[in-house]
Amino acid sequence: MVPHATTGGGLLEALRSTVELRFHGRGGQGAVTAATLLVRAALLEGKWGQAIPSFGAERRGAHVLAFARVAEKPVPIHSMVRRPDVVVVLDPSLILVEKKKVLHGVKPGAKIVANLPEPVDLGDSSARLYWVNATRIAQELGLIVAGWPVVNTAMLGALAKATGLVSIDSVVEAIKEHWSGRPRVAELNAEAARRAYAETREAVAKPAEVAQP
């Protein structure tokens, strides 16, 4: 059963509790699947969730967006996320080359959860960077499709670690449900999520230089 939308004062409360997320990936990396699995993990915890794919080019390698919302109660909103609390970046090149697009519209103090071999400078942004080498994890586990490392499940583990929005146990359960007919694939993706959860780190900002008297 789909829960009814909250109304009145309850709506304001639900809106305040809503966490809005934007996923950036390349076509073929599974950004839309990542958003869907996040919502399933939230539902397993008794929360409300909504996943929204972006319309546009979805050819392999093209910049693809997906959106999600997670809240304690249903929210009657069904639109793209324009002011994300959390941004998940599946491909390192997107934050290295298209940083402005990745950071566009983020709320102050937003969390950026990125697939990176090492942390990068976010410039003047107040966003907090969390990073993990999801590409390496996918390669080590053999999660390769048509020559591309599939990093979406690893990034869900990173998201769980960085935000606490859902537990890693719920992420793993959602993954195993999704690939219930392919237990070996399910376990590899679950392991990717668990490893990324363990390895995700917050980038430490460099201390400001103090002028000498």
Q: Which domain holds residue 123?
A: 18-202
On whether the pTM is more than 0.85, the answer is: yes
Question: Tokens in use for 16?
Answer: 């305040």
Whole-number average pLDDT of the chain: 89
Contact present, 162 and 200 (Cβ < 8 Å): yes
Strand (E) or helix (H) holding 64:
strand 63-71
Residue 168 lies in a domain: yes
Of 208 and 79, the structure prediction assigns the larger pLDDT to 79
Using DSSP's 3-state secondary structure scheme, residue 138 falls into helix
What is the number of domains present in the chain? 1
Residue 213 lies in a domain: no
Contacts of 174 (CB under 8 A, 6+ apart): 37, 38, 40, 41, 44
Q: From CA 77, how far away is CA 56, in angstroms rounded?
A: 21
Q: From CA 175, how far away is CA 186, in angstroms rounded?
A: 6
pLDDT interval class at 212 (50, 70, 90): very low
Q: From CA 98, how far away is CA 96, in angstroms rounded?
A: 6
- Which of 47-56, 73-82, 173-182 shows the highest mean pLDDT? 173-182
Contacts of 10 (CB under 8 A, 6+ apart): 73
Question: Tokens in use for 153?
Answer: 């499940």
Q: What is the CATH number of the domain that holds 150?
A: 3.40.920.10
- Identity at 155, one-letter amino acid code: M
In this predicted structure, the answer to whether residue 60 has a pLDDT above a threshold of 80 is no
Residue 208 lies in a domain: no
Residue 11 lies in a domain: no
Residue 211 lies in a domain: no
Q: From CA 82, how far away is CA 167, in angstroms rounded?
A: 25
pLDDT interval class at 72 (50, 70, 90): very high
Cα 132–chain centre separation: 12
Q: From CA 128, how far away is CA 109, in angstroms rounded?
A: 6
Strand (E) or helix (H) holding 12:
helix 9-17
